[in-house]
Amino acid sequence: MLPHAQFSDLEIREMVEWVYSVRSNQMTEMRTGISNEFALLQTNKKIDGPIRLTVNYTDRGMGTVPPLTSSSSIVVRPRTTQAENSKRIQGMQILNSQNAENGKFCGGINNGSFFILDSVSLNHFSSITASVTSAGAGGRIEVRVGGIAGPLVSSMEVEVNGSWDKWDQVTGTKDPKVTNEESQPVDLYVVCRNESNRNGLMNIDWIRFNK
């Protein structure tokens, strides 16, 4: 560490005492350095949504110069998300089933029904898998950016398997033209379509973003 002649002996003493006073805390994780790795706090609750990591910095300033303050955040999310835990659900019902993961799924789906997965990075997956079932009309799942008519990321055909709770997995490849050069997370709209038979299309349990 370079010398800091601008600090008084008292200020240096305060900083050193603070460093030696730091203890492990279940609510606060502290890390040093420009690059580091750390494990999330242990919890019995399953993480099924975006996690925001925020770093704050404030120095002591000097003389007439006020303290400098800065803050930066990133958002990460697990690759698999339960449909019923989406940011917003439109035209669907959250229903119970012992055969669904976590015991719940999205059903009562008609043409145009959708849910939103927020804070998804377009650069971190190559395909999308959905856990689905249908004893109704079937149809397709469209994943779009920013709205139900936004740019198409991927689509998956859902065939009728004759059951409302026997889950199959369908996968669609991400359109290579859909990228996010700035790597900023976006909201993805998962839209269900069947223009010919508009009601009773399918049930959806979860969505997974594959590497």
Q: Is 193:155 a contact under the CB 8 Å cutoff?
A: no
What's residue 51's pLDDT?
77
Which of these, 108, 97, 95, 89, lies nearest to 200 by C-alpha position? 108
For residues 205 and 202, give the distance between their C-alpha atoms in angstroms, rounded to a whole number.
10
Q: Is 151:128 a contact under the CB 8 Å cutoff?
A: no
Torsion angle defined by CA atoms of residues 105, 156, 90 and 124, in that order, rounded to the nearest 10 degrees: 90
For residues 129 and 171, give the distance between their C-alpha atoms in angstroms, rounded to a whole number.
4
Q: Is 148:191 a contact under the CB 8 Å cutoff?
A: yes
Q: Which alpha helices (H) appear in the chain, and where do they start and end?
A: 9-21
For residues 169 and 167, give the distance between their C-alpha atoms in angstroms, rounded to a whole number.
7
What's residue 61's pLDDT?
82
> What's the CA angle centered on 19, arms 26 and 12, to 5 degrees?
155
- The DSSP result for 124-145, as a single string, is G-SEEEEEEE-SS--EEEEEEE
Greatest Cα-to-Cα distance within the chain, rounded to the nearest angstrom? 79
Q: Is 191:178 a contact under the CB 8 Å cutoff?
A: no
For residues 25 and 28, give the distance between their C-alpha atoms in angstroms, rounded to a whole number.
5
What's residue 33's pLDDT?
53
For residues 10 and 54, give the distance between their C-alpha atoms in angstroms, rounded to a whole number.
30
Mean per-residue pLDDT pooled into runs of 10, the chain (211 residues): 71 81 62 59 67 81 84 83 94 96 95 95 93 97 96 97 96 88 82 96 97 92
CB-based contacts of 2, cutoff 8 Å, min separation 6: none
Tokens (6 digits) for 155 = 């689509």
